[in-house]
Amino acid sequence: MTKHIDEAYRILAANDRGGYTVPTDRLYPFQWNWDSAFVAMGFATYDISRAYRELERLIEGQWATGMIPHIVFHQPSDTYFPGPDVWRTNHSIPTSGITQPPVFGIALRVVHEAALKAGTDNAAARTLALFHAGLRWHRWWYTARDPDGTGLVALLHPWESGSDNSPAWDTALARVPTTTDTAVVRKDTGHVDAAMRPRDEDYRRFIHLVDTYAACGWDPVRQWEKTPFKIAEVQTTGILLKAGEDLEYIAKSLGLTAEAEELSRYNDLTRGALLAQWRPALSRFVSRDLVSGEDIDAPTQAGFIPLLALDLDGDLANAAVAEMKLWSRDMRVAFPTTKPFSESWEPKRYWRGPAWAIINWLLIDGLNRNNQPDMAEALRVSTINAIEAEGFAEYFDPTTGDGCGGLGFSWTAAAYLNLLQTGQA
């Protein structure tokens, strides 16, 4: 165990580029939004000042609109496509133009509480500045990505989900043309096996959407009107609600009454909306395609992420867990990101089957919240064992346990440190 803890520290140090951490060398050479939030929680287990720094560097990329972009390009690199020239966002620190799941507020509470416990210098001031950035981002979600006030927030690009290549996007993505204004020069398949990465055709669709939004000048109102891809999504909304609860908690603890009330209103709205996405016949939550108006019933891990933010009735929680057990049966490593042996199941292609330590982390928290300690513990042990057997891989083939994708991965190291700590609690 100590050997693996040291290796986790070593990976986080090796991926440090000056106060921020790249997900892994070469394949992802910049600062990624939700990766950094997980990494900050990893740092909070042993270096609180560095944990704050990770979040502070991330918000250097925050837009005037409040959006925190999915990539901040602090320094140039030629090992990644699409770079700043494709995004054309005109931000003073170059950034992408889309966002990623708002784990930020969850991370801020973890870092803040660790700082209070340890008596870290300047903790209150550092938390306060980050809290305001987080609040501005939540306001952006509720205006730009839910203009009709439904309580569910929408994604305009598959990459905003963090589950970039999930079968949940297949139907909506098929409507997006494969034509692009930008030449598509993939770099990812030079770093890892193409069989683990998205298909070329889908990559052209991803870039078509970037071209479309760049032509809208990245104006959220124009993007909302123009886009062929608009999904009210339960994984992101579940994370937003949990982060909203954590920001509300911080606001109260800092005596920010008006801010706490504002967050409480958002959270109440979303709690009801998310619960309404439960489908008893499927024993999970589903997202909605806002262009077709239909449920997206592709079986993916996203259907269980709302447990993170909801206190479900016992029957409902038991039904979700029974379904999760069914998916995990006979797997060497849980939890598969697509239901095993379903039509779109591919155990090695990313987000179409593999198990990810950070997804497990969110699921474990959701299971514990909903009084499911056995399943939570089984998942925790499964994740730790996979990492100790195969190293800090980007993700794991659930059928063989093989570590896949990029290696020396920051968020896998952070998840390991966090999951070990949860076990000691």
Stretch that binds ligand GLC, among 31-39, 133-141, 193-201, 269-277 (CB under 6 A): 31-39
Tally Cβ neighbours within 10 Å of residue 292.
Answer: 12
By CB under 6 A, is residue 23 in contact with ligand GLC? yes
394 noted as active-site residue: yes
Stretch that binds ligand GLC, among 30-38, 55-63, 217-225, 291-299 (CB under 6 A): 30-38
Minimum Å distance from CB 226 to ligand GLC? 24
197 phi and psi angles, rounded to 5 deg: -110, 170
List the one residue out of 15, 13, 43, 19 whose CA is nearest residue 27.
Answer: 15
By DSSP bridging, strand 287-289 and strand 295-296 are antiparallel
Query: Which residue in 8, 21, 25, 28 binds ligand GLC (CB under 6 A)?
Result: 28
Clarify whether 402 is annotated catalytic: no
Give the CA count within 13 Å in the CB-facing half-sphere of 91. 26
Any residues with CB less than 8 A from the CB of 340 and at least 6 apart, and which? 327, 330, 331, 347, 353, 398, 399
Nearer to ligand GLC, 23 or 336 (CB): 23
- Dihedral of the CA atoms 384, 389, 392, 397 (nearest 10)? -90
CB-nearest residue to ligand GLC = 23
Binding span for ligand GLC by CB under 6 A among 29-37, 218-226, 318-326, 362-370? 29-37
Q: Are 407 and 390 contacting, i.e. CB atoms less than 8 angstroms apart?
A: no
**List 54, 202, 365, 394, catalytic entry:** 394
* Residue at 190: amino acid letter: G
Q: Which CB sits closer to ligand GLC, 223 or 410? A: 410
**How many residues does the structure list for the chain?**
425
Which of 25, 35, 245, 259 is the binder for ligand GLC (CB under 6 A)? 35
Task: Give the shortest CB-170-to-ligand GLC separation in angstroms.
Answer: 16
User: Judged by CB under 6 A, does residue 87 bind ligand GLC?
Assistant: no
Q: How far is Cα 398 from Cα 40, in angstroms, rounded to an integer? A: 27
- In angstroms, the first-to-last Cα distance of the chain is 17
Say how many residues touch ligand GLC, by CB under 6 A.
7
Contact flag: residue 83 with ligand GLC (CB under 6 A)? no
Judged by CB under 6 A, the chain residues 159 through 198 that form the site for ligand GLC are 162, 164
If one asks whether residue 32 binds ligand GLC (CB under 6 A), the answer comes out as yes
Q: Of these residues, 25, 35, 54, 164, which one is catalytic?
A: 164
Work out the angle at residue 288's Cα, subtended by the Cα atoms of residues 282 and 290, and round it to the nearest 5 degrees: 160
What gap in Å lies between CA 423 and CA 386, rounded to an integer?
A: 16
Q: Does 34 bind ligand GLC (CB under 6 A)?
A: yes
Site string for ligand GLC, 102-131 (x = CB under 6 A): ------------------------------
86, 73, 87, 92: which is closest to 29 by C-alpha? Answer: 73
Beta bridge mates, 32:
71
By beta-carbon proximity to ligand GLC, the closer residue of 370 and 412 is: 412
**Which CB atom, from 164 or from 397, has the smaller least distance to ligand GLC?**
164
List residues near ligand GLC by CB under 6 A. Answer: 23, 28, 32, 34-35, 162, 164
Active site residue ranges: 164, 394
